[in-house]
Structure 1
Amino acid sequence: MKDWWKIVVAAVFEVGWVIGLKHADSGVEWVGTAVAIYVSFHLLIVAGRTLPVGTAYAVFVGLGAAGTVIAEIIFFGVPVKPAKLILIAVLLAGVIGLKFVTDEGGEKEWHGSH
């Protein structure tokens, strides 16, 4: 379960760097964006060592996309549209469902050619 939390934290940092790519204006903001990119992908890579990579990546991207849309609404005044909120809910339901149906030990490690 600890590795799934790494994915959640990585997704939070993903929201930070995606917003930073769009809104960073100063050197400090660009450094913060770069740090967020590093932390986000580092946590994804570390968690991917034990979690099924495809599922971990799908959860990472889904949470990051939903978080980015929500952050734009909250922090940047992007208009709230009911259809957008419904689609975010569907996306999150899919991500959560994918996590629950994934066998965490189901993928075998690859050690060279087989």
Structure 2
Amino acid sequence: MADRSLYKLTVFIPETHLEQVKQAMFAAGGGVIGNYDNCSWQVKGQGQFRALPGSSAFIGELNELAVVDEYRVELVVEKSRIKAVIAALKSAHPYETPAFDVLEVISEF
């Protein structure tokens, strides 16, 4: 029997690249729930950061606090696709270091 373990991937995406990053993750196999694909949940908020020396910031200036409209996007990913989905996220995301996390989902009790 195939391992059907699931992960929930959460990523923060600037408004300008929202659809581009989501579509890359979907194309890599993320966001599939049963007989549905392109499944995600998103909410708009603000992220903040300060670019430090040695960074190559997409938005903001060196040593200055930047506040950016971003979306928090969540989607489920099968274990067999998680590495490909993360690679697609990193490839499509404009930030030098995208903020994301991955949690294992317990789907059976």
- TM-score bucket (shorter structure): under 0.3
Normalised TM-score (structure 2): 0.27
Larger radius of gyration: 1
Which structure shows the higher helix fraction? 1
Larger RCO of the pair (alpha carbons < 8 Å, separation 6+):
2
